Amino acid sequence: MNNSSPASLLNRSASRQSGRVGLWPLLIGLAFVALWLVTLGSRALISPDEGRYAMLSLAMLQSGDWITPRLNGLLYFEKPPLQYWGGALAMALLGVSEFSARLWPGLAGLLTVGLLGHTAHRLWGARTGVLALLGGAGTSWILINSHFLSLDAGLCGALTLAMCGFLLAQHAQAQGQSRSGWMLAAWVGLAAAVLSKGLVGLLIPGAVLVLHSLWRLDFAIWRAMRWWAGLALFAALTVPWFWAVSARNPDFAWFFFVHEHFDRYLSPVHNREGPPWYFIPFLLLGFMPWTGALPWLMKVRRSDFAEGFLLVWALFVMLFFSASSSKLPSYILPMFPALVLLLARRLEQASVRALRWHLLVPVLAWSGGLAVWLLAEQLVAKDSSPAIARAMLDGIGLASALFLLASALTWWLLQRQRKLAAVAVLALANSACVLIGLQAHNGYGLQKSSAELVQAIPQARNPAVPVFSLRSYDQTLPFYLRRPVTLVDFQGEFEFGQTREPALWVPTLEGFVPRWQAAPEAVAYMERPTLAALQALGLTPRIVFQDERRVVIAKP
């Protein structure tokens, strides 16, 4: 390879300490950002999380009430509003779509990756900063959660700002420089984390600061916190909404702070239990293609403030959520930025030979995907939706083949001591292949979405026609209808709102029958067992849509 090749330019530009950016890294970065954003709107929203959070944002936009969250027209106080605001603003500016609904987590993921690159650059030099950018951009769990509409990407971005702010403020203090700006940025991150998901946004950074200080027997960071200015900034950002929503809704404080924090963590009230090792598979798969480097990240000297802080951060997040009675795979996402910063430093220090051995882990994992594709005929034959299964398996096969080809190129670059170029190829290949896999899953996603269902029933899109949801609820249905539906004999997470606004739902199937009979036009969504229950009550409904699980009836 001659000296003017893209790989060579990438290595030379990253090693310049002056901070100048060459043409090829800039073009690669722009292409990656474009790919990251464009794919946000390429899949249907799926139930439950994506439909739930999209509808919360849409309801704020439609009602003009940016204080009191409502889900499907009912009071909903399970989480704070920052993501709802971000989604509503995106929909106001760009129109209501899957893209605008997912834009907030997508941007939060890009913010996370950018903060990691900048922080590593400031702490350890330009080359390590580039490695952190590539490491974050190529990490599967960061990428997946940034392309899925839930609260965790936003929380992760906010906590990453807090984490990086602490590290850069301490670094500035150690260099005898002003630390004010980055410490205040950390307080902004804390406020954004609380407005994203509640008290966990304070708990994680606070616990890490305490544990890290005790481990090192060093409390200097506490004196550098800028308490008065920081607390004032934190209060100015968080108190107004909590004050306003509590004033309008007297029951908010108990439900939000007690039920949604302590009950959720200490009891299985939300039926999200799991064994203590629940998160280990998600850590191993989510850290791909860097999983083989995890043992390297544990070798931290206590005297190194930044590395010790990052290790304590990652371990605390893992242990804290492992001890919880409520578990979801995305809960451990905030540990991944800390792991990526540790990874960047280890990649910079690692020999080419060590990196070649590390490459075997993702190669084996993606080879498994290729093996699954080779067994496609047997797997498709056993699936209830052969065409969807075939599309999914073909996507896995394509992604696996591309990754293995990229791995061969990575090996070739490592043989020629092009370490930075090799890491770039591996990171970008893993990102592209994960996005291919997400797109291939869309067929199954549509089975958990109302996107096609609503398109198949034009009558349901008429705002004058009431739509009922009987004994079940698809979280995406109100979003694709662009309006709430009336729940019948279904509570779930709506119990709080239904108790306070009983006129907005129908408690029993028997109570639904006269409303249905009295309406000149109406549509009702249900799952198949409910249809038999309706027929037993004497209704002979006209079916306008059905699949293996769902039925929609309409009148006239």
**Same-domain check for residues 161 and 289:** yes
Q: How many domains does the chain have?
A: 2
**Same-domain check for residues 334 and 457:** no
Angle at 170 between CA 164 and CA 173, to 5 degrees: 140
CB 222 within 8 A of CB 206: no
Domain boundary among 298, 322, 349: 349
Three-state secondary structure call for residue 50:
helix
**Same-domain check for residues 174 and 318:** yes
> Is the omega angle on the peptide bond into residue 289 within 30 degrees of 0, that is, cis?
yes
What phi, psi does 324 have (nearest 5°)?
-75, 150
CA-wise closest residue to 477 among 464, 488, 486: 486
**Same-domain check for residues 320 and 469:** no
CA-wise closest residue to 202 among 169, 168, 235: 235
Tell me, what's the pLDDT at 9?
37
Three-state secondary structure call for residue 545:
strand
CA trace torsion 122, 124, 128, 133 (10° rounding): -30
- Residue 114, in any domain of the structure: no
- Residue 199, in any domain of the structure: yes
- Residue 192, in any domain of the structure: yes
Tell me, what's the pLDDT at 382?
76
What percentage of the chain's residues is helix, strand, coil (to nearest 5)? Answer: 70, 5, 25
Residue 222 backbone zone (phi > 0: left; psi -120 to 50: alpha; other: beta): alpha
Q: How far apart are CA 258 and CA 447, in angstroms?
A: 35
Domain boundary among 323, 349, 375: 349
Residues of the chain where predicted confidence (pLDDT) is lower than 70: 1-24, 179, 262-272
Tell me, what's the pLDDT at 394?
94
Tell me, what's the pLDDT at 14?
40
**Same-domain check for residues 152 and 299:** yes
Q: What is the DSSP letter of 506?
A: B
Range of the domain at 466: 451-555
CA-wise closest residue to 130 among 27, 48, 10: 10
- Residue 122, in any domain of the structure: no
**Same-domain check for residues 175 and 322:** yes
CB 525 within 8 A of CB 460: no
Place of tokens 């080779």: 374
Place of tokens 């204080």: 67
- Residue 516, in any domain of the structure: yes
Q: What's the alpha-carbon Rg for the chain, to the nearest Å?
A: 25
Q: Do the bridges between strand 467-470 and strand 486-488 make them parallel or antiparallel, or are there none, so unpaired?
A: parallel
- Residue 396, in any domain of the structure: no
Q: How far apart are CA 236 and CA 506, in angstroms?
A: 41
Three-state secondary structure call for residue 445:
helix
- Residue 307, in any domain of the structure: yes
Q: How far apart are CA 343 and CA 296, in angstroms?
A: 8
For the chain, the straight-line distance linking the first and the last C-alpha, in angstroms and rounded, comes to 72
**Same-domain check for residues 341 and 460:** no
Tell me, what's the pLDDT at 32?
86
Q: What angle separates helix 419-440 from helix 360-374, to the nearest 10 degrees?
A: 30
DSSP E strand boundaries for 411-485? 467-470
pTM of the model: 0.92
**Same-domain check for residues 337 and 467:** no
CA-wise closest residue to 369 among 469, 440, 297, 464: 440
Q: Residue 281 carries which side chain, given as an amino acid letter?
A: P
Place of tokens 């994680």: 204
Q: How far apart are CA 92 and CA 95, in angstroms?
A: 6
Domain boundary among 287, 319, 349: 349
- Residue 78, in any domain of the structure: no
CB 225 within 8 A of CB 238: no
**Same-domain check for residues 325 and 195:** yes
Three-state secondary structure call for residue 489:
coil
Tell me, what's the pLDDT at 136?
97
Place of tokens 């010790």: 308
